[in-house]
A and B are shown apart, each in its own frame.
Chain A
Amino acid sequence: MNAWLLAAAALLVGTIGPAIAVALHGPSHRRLVGADLAGTGMPVVFLLLAQGYSRTSYQDLALILAVLAPAGTLVFTRFLAGERG
């Protein structure tokens, strides 16, 4: 149980948990805030787990998620409020 796994556990409870809690209720554009925070937090958790288990090849997972999560959020914003006028 090294510092990296401890930090990953703290992030899962302290950041991803509230993000999911926010994303569970409320109107759709307010849920988006939770989804976006989870999209930022999860790559960091993946990086910490990769470092904690000393398998640096798993960093690619965080790289892919860091590229795709913002794209997903932008698609959500396009559908939620993208119509002109």
Chain B
Amino acid sequence: MRHQIALALLTAGTAALVLAGLAVLRLPPPFLRLHALSLASTLGAPLVVLALAVQTGPGRGAVKLLVIGSLLAVGGTVTTMAVGRTTVRRERPGLLRGNQR
């Protein structure tokens, strides 16, 4: 039973990540492409890591996997925001005013 749940989560996560890959190709630059980044790091990666954790079963290994998954989610979110800020400052130089420089 646990294997089926893991496979379902794996399929969903892989689909999300492949969708992110296609989105980064198809979405017009520069701003709409950022959606692919957040999709991959906050939906795809955690789902796949959850599938691996379910497959590994309760224990130390699953905790390590969940730590990696949370690192990916948090790191991905931070980098998506940083890349978005960089894109705004290079594409629309005068847009950000005041303390958002």
| Chain A residues at the B interface, C-beta cutoff of 8 Å | 3-4, 7, 10-11, 14-19, 21-22, 26-27, 29-30, 32-34, 36-37, 39-41, 43-44, 47-48, 51, 56, 59, 62-63, 66-67, 69-70, 73-74, 76-77, 80-81, 84-85
- CB contacts (< 8 Å) of A33 on chain B: these are 24, 29, 33-34, 36-37, 83, 87
A43 to B46, CA, bound (A): 11
Contact A3 B101 (CB under 8 A): no
Interface size class of B (residues with CB under 8 A): 35 or more
| Chain B residues at the A interface, C-beta cutoff of 8 Å | 7, 10-11, 13-14, 17-18, 20-22, 24-25, 29-30, 33-34, 36-37, 40-41, 44-45, 48-49, 52, 55-56, 61, 64-65, 67-68, 71-72, 75-76, 78-80, 82-83, 85-87, 89-91, 101
